[in-house]
Amino acid sequence: MNSVNHPIKIFAGTKSRYMGEEICKHLGMELGKMNIQHFADGEFEVSFEETVRGCEVYLVQSTFPNTDNLMELLLMIDAAKRASAHSVIAVIPYFGWARQDRKDKPRVSIAAKLVADLLSAAGVNRVITMDLHADQIQGFFDVPVDHLYASSVFIPYIQSLKLENMAIATPDVGGAKRANSYAKFLDVPLVLCHKQRAKANVVESMTVIGDVKDKNVILIDDMVDTAGTITKAADLMIANGAKSVRALASHAIMSDPASERVDACGMTEMIFTNSIPFNKECKKATILSVAKLIADTIRRVHNNESISSQYVFK
């Protein structure tokens, strides 16, 4: 994949190397060589082991905790710019800190905006990401943002299940727009859950808005952290007469004790993408790869082609 003036090179951060290798496999090329040297005090240094001068450089790194992943990406961007790369594109399958997209109480930071500013200050020319927690985060950047949708891999999987009498549900009202897109595309009913939180990651109460009796329900969310909300919603659907409950979420954060909660609840299956490396023991988890989706996007961006045609829906 070379243009006349700007050959393409792809590198990956430490925790996203699995994704970089799979993307490169779809593109028929080798993952770039990079070295990260760690010092005794926790500081680290990023260096490219091959020239990037005049190249279109894609840096694959999800910014999930811990903070080293974000810092590593910032150093990769800086190193590429200082090595005279023609352009630097950050490929961030999971954009961390996205839940902090506004001031919902006094004296708090807007971390998603801060992360966008850090990436811009480091010198990024473009960002490719997937299923942001809030669509408006795209506006935090002053560079182009290609926002991909995991529906491109989820919809074929849902259709392969051949479920009858299906309903799409959302575990909270905030995800209604996303769930409604699935319901409209599949031409099935939409069910909402209304939740009240006692505090972050703790659900106080939840009620179902809609009929799930004798239906095969699919819960739609963008991420699962401690799995308190999604498992409570699944059990509530079962209690209200649902025939079966499956859940899908783009990003498997799965902080403890999420795996235990998913395996113990009444849902049949929990479906994720591989935007974050999933190495937990969870019998009900199914992982779908988005590497081909990202590889196709990289190819289209490189060739100045439209990327919207690869969306099932937005």
Q: Which residues are known to be catalytic?
A: 195
DSSP, collapsed to helix, strand or coil, labels residue 78 as helix
- C-alpha to C-alpha distances, 97 to 34, 150, 156, nearest whole angstrom: 26, 19, 29
Closest CA to 19 of 305, 312, 293, 308: 293
The radius of gyration of the chain's CA atoms, rounded to the nearest angstrom, is 20
Residue from 245, 202, 206, 244 nearest 225 by CA: 202
Q: Does residue 234 contact residue 207 with C-beta atoms inside 8 Å?
A: no
* C-alpha span between 124 and 115 (Å, rounded): 12
Rounded to 5°, angle at Cα 58 from 57 and 63: 135
Q: If DSSP states are collapsed to H, E and C, what string results for 266-287?
A: CCCEEEEECCCCCCCCCCCEEE
Give the residue among 297, 291, 311 at the shortest CA–CA distance from 24: 291
Triad 276, 277, 282: Cα angle to 5°: 105
